[in-house]
Structure formats: structure tokens, C-alpha cells
Amino acid sequence: MPYLWKFKKFPEGVVDPRQLRILIFLRNNGPHASSEIARTLGYPVKFTRKTLQLLRRMGAVEVYLKPGKSLEDYGGRA
């Protein structure tokens, strides 16, 4: 199950321009996996993951698990 990162708010204080670019991407495009963010913005995956962890500690983003199946997948036939 992939982790999805979601924009929460812009942090107060000075933010690195690359961090700001990640935040703007998430705000404009909704939740994404770190590998998708890295590929889209052209950043190394390791840098993107570390940056997202830092932004999470700052309260700027949140992370959650995307379930492999949705509720509709578990529904029975009527």
C-alpha cells in the first residue's frame, strides 16, 4: 500500500524553494506518492522523501496509507 502525501498548510518562516515547490505541487494536484512527486518535479526520490518527512514535522503536510481496495471492492451483490 503506497503512502500518499497531502498538503495541509504553508509553514511559517523561511522555506527552501525546493520545499515550497513540493508544497505548491501538492496543493495544486492533491495527494501523491513521494515517488510520483519526485518524478514530476525532477528531484531525487531520497531527497523528496526526506523533505516530505521534514515538512510533516513542520505541520505542512500529512501522510496516510492508500488502501489497496476501496469500499466498493468489498461490497456484495444485491
The enclosing domain of 12 has a CATH number of 1.10.10.10
Residue 78, in any domain of the structure: no
Residue 17, in any domain of the structure: yes
| Residue-range definition of the domain harbouring residue 16 | 3-69
Residue 10, in any domain of the structure: yes
Residue 21, in any domain of the structure: yes
Higher pLDDT, 58 or 76: 58
The answer to whether the predicted template modeling score (pTM) of the entire model surpasses 0.85 is no
Classified as helix, coil or strand, 56 is helix
| Total domains present in the chain | 1
**Residues 2-31: tens digit of each pLDDT:** 899 999 999 988 789 999 999 999 999 999
Classify residue 52 as exposed, middle or buried by CB count within 10 Å of its CB (0-12, 13-18, 19+): buried
DSSP H stretches of helix in 1-78: 17-29, 34-41, 45-57, 71-74
Residue 28, in any domain of the structure: yes
